[in-house]
């Protein structure tokens, strides 16, 4: 869960930085085009964290139990983010 929390924190910080940079350069009209990239980044990050968590399946019994719980959360996050990306891109990037 800590890895997912760190991923979400980095994602939110990146979105804030991108909005600030676009505001400085007076390009806020690009934000609607960038909206689908947020769930895409979350889906890719959650997928990569799933690969890392799979390494814990080779550890002790406690590691396996922890990895199983975190994989369930990460897979759900990855699937939900991928669906949101697909839906947002189908609406905005026609």
| pLDDT tens profile 5-52 | 787 788 788 888 888 888 899 998 888 878 888 888 888 888 888 888
Task: Show Cβ contacts of residue 31 under 8 Å, excluding neighbours closer than 6 positions.
Answer: 19, 22
CA distance 31 to 75: 28
69 has a pLDDT exceeding 70: yes
């Amino acid at each position: 869960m800590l890895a997912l929390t760190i991923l979400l924190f980095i994602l939110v910080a990146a979105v804030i930085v991108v909005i600030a940079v676009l505001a400085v350069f007076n390009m806020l009209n690009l934000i609607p085009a960038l909206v689908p990239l947020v769930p895409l980044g979350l889906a890719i990050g959650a997928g990569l964290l799933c690969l890392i968590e799979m390494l814990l399946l080779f550890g002790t019994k406690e590691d396996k139990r922890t990895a199983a719980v975190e994989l369930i959360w990460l897979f759900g996050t990855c699937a939900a983010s991928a669906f949101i990306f697909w839906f947002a891109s189908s609406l905005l990037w026609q």
